[in-house]
Amino acid sequence: MEYIVDTMLGKLARHLRIFGYDTIYSTDLDDDRIIEMARGGRTIITRDRELVKRAHIKGLDALLIESTGLEQALAQMIEEGLVRKSDLRIGTRCSLCNSLLDKCDNGTWICVACGQRYWLGGHWRNISELMRRVGLLDCHE
């Protein structure tokens, strides 16, 4: 699944990328550009009711996120079938630019586009805990 996330949901966009979902996000995208980009098959994820209405009128997929919290937004996407445990591809996308990551010999990853490096540091504990709370990881994983 591929998404385009509006400017109100930057933290959600970063987490979708961490989970391996191809997710376009930029604070420079206006609603017209989001609609245009969604015509390629991306689902629009937004808190903007008018944007959802416009998308649906044009026959595009769009989800209105009802909550303001990351955990609740992820739970809503899971409930809607837009985020699934079986689709997770952690360690495949850059959380900053959405490009693909290359795995290095030393257990790190590097973004092929922006050069950002990733490793399994303490922040992964927080990400894993979030994933457990929303049901994307089992307690023993």
| pLDDT exceeds 60 at position 141 | no
Average pLDDT of the residues of the chain: 93
Extended strands (E) in 6-141: 22-25, 43-46, 62-64, 101-103, 109-111, 117-118
Enumerate domains of the chain plus CATH numbers: 2-133 (3.40.50)
pLDDT for position 125: 87
CA 7 – CA 5 distance, rounded (Å): 7
Evaluate whether 59 touches 35 at the Cβ level (below 8 Å).
no
User: Band of the pLDDT at 107, cuts 50, 70, 90?
Assistant: confident
Q: How confident is the model at residue 139 (pLDDT cuts 50, 70, 90)?
A: low
Tens of pLDDT, residue by residue over 56-78, are: 999 999 999 999 899 999 999 99
Sorting pLDDT into bands at 50, 70 and 90, what band is 121? confident
What digits encode the pLDDT tens for the residues 77-96? 999 999 999 999 988 999 99
CA nearest to 3, candidates 28, 32, 38: 38
3-state secondary structure of 35: helix
How far apart, in whole angstroms, are the C-alpha atoms of residue 91 and residue 68?
26
